[in-house]
Amino acid sequence: MRKFGFKLFNSNLQNAPEFVKECADFAKQQEDMFIELMVLTDRPQAELYELKKILKDVEVRIHCVHSSYVFDAGNKSLEKVNREMFEYTRFAADLFNSKSIVVHAGNGHGKEYLDETVRQFKLFNDKRIVVENLPYYDNNGDDLSGSSADEIKYIMDKTGCGFCFDFSHAVCTATQLNIDIDTQLKSLFDLKPTVYHMCDGDLNQSQDLHLHYGAGNYPLKHFLNDYTAKDAYITMETGEFALHNDLSIKDYEYLKSL
Ligand SMILES: [Zn+2]
């Protein structure tokens, strides 16, 4: 059975408490839902314990922060801060019994950055890590590692980690490098991802837009049916910050209708 996940941040308990409660209540009523929790590392542990209570009986999967929050496994000078951030993330993963921890490949183009990501992933030393594929350039035009199936496979082979397949990042990469989109998606799907990120977007743009389903032109039915495993965990990375989860529920119903 495919499972679909609302995305929460631990900080939502403070800035969108009703959103958290509505997500928890709705997910509890479905047999095919989970929550993906992005763990901001400058938040108090008490918040995680409170979330654990609210999310009782809901499966939680963990996402480690990425370069928007300093963390960058491809940057040697950040090793200490990356390890501290990962430790807090690991604490959350233990607390929620998460079976996976999504971690982005590092920034930078070239083997030295890829090898630094491998080195730091090994230092993190956690079998639950699933590396997420990234666009070739981020929305600011900065270089990112782990955009191709070859690079993801390299990281997986060297560290033994799993794979989180982000569709929008793959489409961005294909658009940025003028690669056929299906060729790009198939090469990544062949790496047998277990966790997925899916939003809608614009096939003609190389920006990751995180649109609600139906608001863009991605062939989502094709993506879902042809490039996700039958037991996939699919996080719905849609929409902007929200105080209520009505649009998130619509997204869930949209995917279920495909
Ligand atoms: Zn991610």
Distance (Å, rounded) from C-alpha 69 to C-alpha 72? 9
Distance (Å, rounded) from C-alpha 139 to C-alpha 2? 30
Name the β-bridge partners of 236. Answer: 198
| Ligand 1 (single-atom ion) residues, CB below 5 Å | 132
Q: Are 75 and 34 in contact (CB under 8 A)?
A: no
Tell how far the Cα of 235 is from the centroid of ligand 1, in angstroms. 10
Tell how far the Cα of 40 is from the centroid of ligand 1, in angstroms. 13
Tell how far the Cα of 70 is from the centroid of ligand 1, in angstroms. 14
**Residue carrying structure tokens 């314990």:** 49
- Strand segments, DSSP code E, in the chain are 3-9, 33-39, 59-64, 101-104, 129-132, 162-166, 195-198, 233-236
Residue whose C-alpha is closest to residue 135's, from 177, 78, 90, 189? 177
Distance (Å, rounded) from C-alpha 207 to C-alpha 71? 21
Tell how far the Cα of 132 is from the centroid of ligand 1, in angstroms. 6
Q: Which CATH number fits domain 3-257: 3.20.20.150, 3.60.150.10, 3.90.1150.10, 3.30.565.10?
A: 3.20.20.150
Tens digit of pLDDT per residue, the chain (258 long)? Answer: 999 999 999 999 999 999 999 999 999 999 999 999 999 999 999 999 999 999 999 999 999 999 999 999 999 999 999 999 999 999 999 999 999 999 999 999 999 999 999 999 999 999 999 999 999 999 888 999 999 999 999 999 999 999 999 999 999 999 999 999 999 999 999 999 999 999 999 998 888 999 999 999 999 999 999 999 999 999 999 998 999 999 999 999 999 999
Q: Are 62 and 12 in contact (CB under 8 A)?
A: no
